[in-house]
Amino acid sequence: MLQISTKGRYGVRLMIDLASRYGEGPVLLREIAGRQGISEKYLWNLVSPLKNAGLVVSFRGAHGGYSLAKPPSKINLGEIMRLLEGPLCLVGCVEKPSECGRSTMCITRDVWEEVSRRISKTLESITLAEMVRKHRTRETEVSMEGKQ
């Protein structure tokens, strides 16, 4: 279906949640789970690869939790998606030259790679900082509307 999975969707929301609390100390998975409506257990599956890749840091024990490892302006959606969804590639191009035996295939491959490049480029151009800023703007708009 060419749809991204919940891993990518939830993972981005998780990171935006963390980004909007950057500098305020560790955030509990439980809190994020509550705010985002995702089970704490499942969240761990998402935060784990992000931690291994060095995008977030964890603190164990009481008053522990997770924080971004760098400022939100230094993290883009491309790296998050790549960690959670795998290579942002519409076909298994990098790893399997075997698929490329057919000449017709090679022509179509050019197309898939072009599209893949554009997806990567688009996602890499968006940082968590921008997402947080947009989010706050929208929140303000919504609360203003409510008062009219």
Partner DNA sequence: TGATTCTCCACTATTTCTGTGGAGATTAAA
Partner DNA sequence: TTTAATCTCCACAGAAATAGTGGAGAATCA
Residue in 7, 109, 133, 135 binding DNA, rule: CB under 7 A:
7
Q: Is residue 145 within the footprint of its own copies (CB under 8 A)?
A: no
Does 116 engage in binding with DNA (CB under 7 A)? no
142 near DNA (CB under 7 A): no
Instruction: Spell out, one character per residue from 75 to 114, where the chain touches its own copies: x when CB under 8 A holds, - when not.
Output: --x---x---xxxxxxxx---------xxxxxxx-xxx-x
Q: Among residue numbers 56 through 95, which ones bind DNA (CB under 7 A)?
A: 58-66
Q: Which range, of 21-29, 40-48, 59-67, 120-128, touches its own copies by CB under 8 A? A: 120-128
Q: How far is the CB of 146 from DNA (least distance, A)?
A: 30
How many other CB atoms are there within 10 angstroms of residue 74's CB atom? 13
